[in-house]
Amino acid sequence: MKEIIQKKLEEIEKQEHVKIILAIESGSRAWGFESADSDYDVRFIYVREPEMYLRLDPVRDVIEWQLDEVFDISGWDIKKALQLLYKSNPTLFEWINSPIVYKETIEGRELRELSKQYFDVKKSVMHYLNMASNTFDNYLQDESVKLKKYFYAIRPILAAKYAL
């Protein structure tokens, strides 16, 4: 599957005229508890050609490539990623530290290194506790609950504990 994903990333680069500097797996596969029906949550950070950043009209800062039963592929522009890094966005930190990497350039490694300077424990803990609370409220109140939903409640609690 890794080869198929890497080919899709090459296709994105060609059709969107971008350079992908980091592409990873997010979601249940990255967390180690995928199920038989889990899709591949591929996330990436890309850089556009320099002249695209000099335009007066805004260019979309997200590429949503494929969403079906097998793949969920989308990415963020480097400018968006850097703004989120500055705000210590926990989702970006998860991407940067994913154990499953499909592509990483020198710039991607530099982004990983830079991220260490912006991690905010308090923001991260609050994010994960809010995520656990929302999961509890929205998915764990029914009589019948899929086992995977319990993992979705436990994972952010453990992430918050780890961040502390």
Question: Across the 164 residues of the chain, what is the mean pLDDT of every consecutive 10-residue run?
Answer: 97 98 95 90 97 93 95 98 97 96 98 96 96 93 88 92 91
Identify whether the C-beta of residue 85 lies closer than 8 Å to the C-beta of residue 92: yes
Q: Check residue 35 and give its pLDDT.
A: 86
Residue 75 and residue 25: Cα distance in Å, rounded?
Answer: 11
Q: Check residue 59 and give its pLDDT.
A: 92
CA–chain centroid gap for 45, Å, is: 9
Residue 55 burial class via C-beta count within 10 angstroms: exposed 0-12, middle 13-18, buried 19 and up: exposed
Q: Check residue 4 and give its pLDDT.
A: 97
Token readout for 35 is 């199920």
Cβ neighbors of 101 (< 8 A, separation 6 or more) are: 22, 23, 24, 25
Residue 156 and residue 19: Cα distance in Å, rounded?
Answer: 32
Q: Check residue 124 and give its pLDDT.
A: 95
Token readout for 61 is 């800062």
Identify whether the C-beta of residue 96 lies closer than 8 Å to the C-beta of residue 22: yes
